[in-house]
Amino acid sequence: MRLFTYILRYDTGSAPNPFQGICTLAICKPRIRRVAKPGDWVAGVGSVNVSGRDFSGRLIYAMKVEERISLEDYDRRAERDWPHRVPKYNSPDLSERLGDCIYSFQDGGEVFQR
């Protein structure tokens, strides 16, 4: 088991995405995503200016890695298993607008942003 930490400078709600009972790093922290394995932990700690507030010295979130999948697999599974992860930009529910499944992988390797 390893612990990965980083300073969370901005908190827009989508990276990391803590909504609907799952916390994901789908669109942030590529270095951590590349090496973290199930059983490892990831912690985001505050900085002096997180969304205009001083959160220095505070733990913002901690999560245990349960699964590691590629961004392409995440796209395919999100549409089927986690539809709340696909952004619904017109939704009145903030957690639905901040979905982190923002890339769509098409057959043939083409990728586009939703």
**Which pLDDT score is estimated for 62?**
96
Q: In the prediction, which pLDDT does 65 show?
A: 97
CA distance 105 to 114: 10
Helix and strand totals (H; E) in the chain: 3, 5
Rounded to the nearest integer, the mean pLDDT of the chain is 88
Look at residue 111 in the predicted model and tell me its pLDDT.
Answer: 64
Residue-wise DSSP of 87-112: --TT-SSHHHHT-S--EEEPTTS-EE
pLDDT at res. 108: 62
**Cβ atoms < 10 Å from Cβ of 75:** 21
The predicted-structure confidence for 48-71, as pLDDT tens digits, reads as follows 876 678 888 899 999 999 999 998
Domain ranges of the chain: 3-113
Q: Is 36:42 a contact under the CB 8 Å cutoff?
A: yes
Tokens of 84: 């709340």
Which ranges of the chain have pLDDT less than 50? none
